[in-house]
Structure formats: structure tokens, C-alpha cells
Structure 1
């Protein structure tokens, strides 16, 4: 299932992308009522497999009865596909070729840092370049959306705790990031974690270690890689993080970026993002997330 979050009536509401268009679940329930069907994204995530089954059954019933009016994608008031993650855990230096271009050794364990709720934004949102930085960079990343409480889970079972996946841009102010040994300031400006446009459930994605991922800046291809190049797999990451903190439904894990970022170029060749630049990150099966920098 491919679902999304919409801004509607002052809150976040659930939509489902169908072949014919986007189904507004709240609007559908108003005319085709059903028990146990979540209409809000975080409620869907907290409801686990039971909520997903209820939603899938509801979609099947609507098809049998005749689908209500659907929205075109340009009619959607897009919001972050995971609007309120309790935790945003990020993995640094997790692609071999990205480590190579940065002239850094491969880490022996996942290199973790965090973002916060103020960084979350969605498809089509403008991202303001903060005053005081001149080195804002893009980073396409596969996002893991947790669907079950996970504490000290084995690697072999780790993906059973994943609800789905989404495309993420781990926007980074490199001058702030490298000012100290802690990366926080360079990673946590407002809007520095656009996610979307969709969350795609794990069953539809299949193997997360075989997904192409790309970044384009003003239409120019900058990053073009595959999750096969990860140093630590999604299963390894979920297991590792869960051994150090309990993961909850709706938590978001960013799994690192491949080669092709501005920071990976020789210093004399680096041209960082500037106002007016449009950045699109795209991952196979997950869709394309586009934001303009202002």
C-alpha cells in the first residue's frame, strides 16, 4: 500500500494513492462508514498489522461498491508522509562509495546521530536556507518507518518491525556540521528533513537492499546509486539501534546517503545549494520528493 499525509481541516489526514487517484480516507468514511479504519497517519502506524488489514479490507469494499470521488495529485495539500515521528535516527557514512569520495574509512559500527521534529517537512514545501551558512547540501536517503515496538531485536527478525519505507532528503549545512565533532547544528535547521511523498508498506517494497536512488538539482542528475552499496543493511541498522534504545511505531530511521553530494567533490569544485534551486530525490517504488530552496 502507498499512503500519504494531507493537511486538512487544521490537522493531518490519511490518503491512499490508488492507480485512479488519491483516496481521502476521512472523506470516504463520511459517506461509507466502517469501524476500525484509521483516518489519521499516526493512528495507522500505531494500529500495526490490524489497522493495515482494516484499511486494506475497507479499500476492497469500496472497490466493490464503487470508489468515491478521488483527488488528482495536484489537488493534494501535501504534508510530511510521517508527520510526527517520535525519534529521527540517522546513519552517517553508510555507503561505500560515499565514504570513498569523502576519503574516510568505513565505520566499524553504524555511526548514529539525530534530527528533530522541527526538521520534518513534506513534498512541495519550500526550505529556507538559514542565515549564517553558505554550504547547504542534499542527501538522498532511504527512510525506514517503524511499525512495531522493537527492543533488542535480532537482525534476522528486524525487518518484521518495519511498517514501510519512504524517500528522505537529509539536508545538511556542511560548514555548521564540520565546525565541531558533533554534527547536530548542521543537521537540525528547520525543514532540513523533507520526507515523502509516500510511505510505502514493506510488503510492496520487497527487498530494501535493491533500490535505486537518485538526486537531481534543477534537473541535473547528481546522485545515482543503489542501496546494495550500503555498508550496514536495513536489518542490521534496525537491530543495532533497537539494542540501544526502544523503537516505537512511527519512529523514522535515515539509512545514509550514497556518493555524489557536494561535500564529496574537491573543494574548488563545490557549488552548494542557493535560493531558487529545486532538489528532487527519488527512490525506486517510493516516488519522487521535490523541494525548492529559498
Structure 2
């Protein structure tokens, strides 16, 4: 049976709105499209006094990548099947996945309470204002209660005998603008622009940093070193081709910025090398740091963090996989 996922359905279920004798409700009854949802099925009591021995959750169309949490004392199983259509994912598209999750073999007495947990990704198949329903089957020593009734348009869940737990879809809250590096930083005769760092995979010990420096004065200056909290030290390095082989070496005396000159530190050329990292540099974040010049002194800067392997900083930062 297919359960409708559409805007304009009844208001979301909540603990207060559920019938007094409901056996299965969801702890989280509101979520946004294109987000990971943590489903917590709450079982308040058994079936007419009988202990609960099995819980089966149906994953509706429009909800993908469902994964159950194992539960001590209960046997866990899933059934996979085709989705109603293909959905975009972080690694292409997906057209099938877990359709039901079952915990069985345990025993939850009628006078006790417990929770059964899964996670899944809500797609944009349901617009804000609609409700996604997760039917729950409760097995109790031979007795069965199916919490799968879905209210018709204009109908209240209170009017149903065995309502399916629901999650109301709401628009995502407007995200605060990602912190970004200033367009330019003045330090005496120097103008520093677009400082950024490449993100690193877990376990990496070095990260590359890049920027542009213009000297508007009449005296040369030298970029000597750099720092960020995650690195033990930051050096100026140069990468150059030698007989077809890329070689990298520190610029021992610092990188000279001549009067009237703009020097660009970029992948494949002059760059900053942050050494002995204590943790990963995460795409989309920013890092406070410093640049040290022979004449201008130590200058505070904010490094934007681009994606792993990026050739330039990304507007708004990168994205993370789940």
C-alpha cells in the first residue's frame, strides 16, 4: 500500500495530538526537506496488556537512505525495495533502499516504555506544509496493532482509530551567512586579499594556504611565515618543475614583495605550508590566523577554507558528505 506524501494534509501528529491510547508515536514530529531525520518510535504500552515483541516501521516514498539503530536484546532486519522514482544523493542518484525496518524477539512489558531508533533522509517530495507518515506495526504475543491510518484532507488524526505517526514538513530556517574572509586587509603599505586554505582529509599533517599581496609602498617587504591554531608552524614554500619533476622547497629568507608588485600565492607555485596539523581543516569553515612580514609585522587574517583539492576558494564554502 502506498501512503500519500503531499502538501495540504492534516497537521502533524504530536504527543499531545495523538489519541490517549496510542501505542506508537514519533518523538520528533517536525523536520525540513533534504535533511537527515532521526526517527525515534516511542512505544508507551503493549496491546491490551500483552507485551510488545516486535516493531516494524514502513519507510514511505520520498524518504531515502534509511538506516536502523541496533537494539540490545532485539533481532534487527530490513527489507529493501525500489523507490517510486530516483532521487539525487551525495554520490549520484539512488532508486532503491530500505523500505521496512523490523525489531523482533525482545519483550517489552505492557507497563514499560521504550524507543526504537532509525535515521533517514527526507527528500523534497513533500513540500513544507505537508506531512510524511511512517506506519508502525506493533506485535504483541500473537496480537497485532497496525498504526497506519492516514487522515484525509481536512480530517484530524484524532478522528482515527490507529493513526500512523507523522512528521510535519516545514521550511528550513534561513541559515546564517557563512563567515568569510574580508575582501582585503591593509597592513601598512601591503594589501592582502583572499586568504584561503585547502581542506584536508582526516589524518593529514599538512595543509596548503594561498593569498594575494600587493605592495603599494616604496620599500620591499618579505612574507616570512604564517600561523593557524591547527598547525605547529607555517612556512612559505615554492613548487617548481625541475626536468619534469615537481619539487617543493621552503623559501628560506621569505618571499619578497617588491614596491608596486602584486605577488600571488596559489596551488602549483608559491604557497603557505602549514605543518604538523592537530586536526582536519574542514571545508566551508574559516580559520583565524596570522601572516608575518619583515616590515609590516604580524598581521591577523581570516582564512576561508575551500574544498579538498580546490584550485581556488569556493563561494560559500564546500559541502560535507553524510
| Pair in the same fold by TM > 0.5 | no
TM-score normalised by L of structure 2: 0.21
By relative contact order (CA 8 Å, sep 6+), the higher-ranking structure is 1
> Higher Cα Rg: structure 1 or 2?
2
Q: Which has the larger share of helix?
A: 1
Q: Which has the larger share of strand?
A: 2
